[in-house]
Amino acid sequence: MNLKEIMNWRYTTKSFDPSKKISEENLIQIKNLLRMSPSSTNLQPWHFVIAGTEEGKARVAKGTQGFFAFNEAKVLKASHVVLFCSRTSADEEYMKHVLATEDQDGRYPNEEVKQMMHGGRNTFADIHKYDLKDLAHWMEKQVYLNIGNFLLGVAALGIDAAPMEGIDMKALDEEFGLREKGFTVVTAVSIGYRAEDDFNTTDKTPKSRLPESEIITMI
């Protein structure tokens, strides 16, 4: 499939076939997809919880109770569910950890370039922390970028997905002890394979988008 075909093939799967599981080979690709997403200043302010067992998915389903019950079957019937979590702070220790990792990966020809990057990343973070006062929001934006990358990536592998903001974030933070670890859940994405009777497949419920002429200005 070319890119257009992939984008038209993917849709938000409302009903997964519980008998179809994502292969180990594809899971390796999926983990790499999560890891290789770009982020501003390479901050990588994220963590991912991947539930692939029945027990794991039952734990995630604690975030789809009450008002959020409309998403429960998407969690329980999917092959896997990925919780996208955002950092709640970016302290000096974390900044040094990212820098040391980049150094180990061979990003820096010398100490001067390394310190320049460290200073730049800290300046950006400080702008968001102090001037704009949106550090948490800025980090969440990086996580959303990862989600966009992820939705296209899994579709390219022929895997269906359902992104879900309709989840009880507090319940999930508590279930996985995320806040104590410096993270908070942002979105869940169920992945797997569409059920034949899914009402939302594009032949039954065509996709709808605003026209190209309205959303794109060519100059």
Residues noted as catalytic = 14, 74, 165
CB 154 within 8 A of CB 33: yes
Per CB under 6 A, the list member of 6, 12, 62, 124 interacting with ligand FMN is 12
Residue 84 touches ligand FMN, criterion: CB under 6 A: no
CB 187 within 8 A of CB 75: no
DSSP string, 32-89: HHHHH---GGG---EEEEEE-SHHHHHHHGGGSSGGGGGGHHHHHSSSEEEEEEEES-
Helix 135-156 × helix 24-36 angle, to 10°? 150
**Euclidean distance between CA atoms 127 and 54, whole angstroms:** 43
Residue (38 or 148) nearer to ligand FMN, CB: 148
Per CB under 6 A, the list member of 44, 86, 187, 190 interacting with ligand FMN is 187
Residue 54 touches ligand FMN, criterion: CB under 6 A: no
Number of residues interacting with ligand FMN: please give it, by CB under 6 A.
11
Residue (51 or 164) nearer to ligand FMN, CB: 164
Which position's Cβ is nearest ligand FMN? 166
Residue 207 touches ligand FMN, criterion: CB under 6 A: yes
Residue 201 touches ligand FMN, criterion: CB under 6 A: no
CB 191 within 8 A of CB 159: yes
Contact residues for ligand FMN, defined by CB under 6 A: 11-12, 14, 71, 162-166, 187, 207
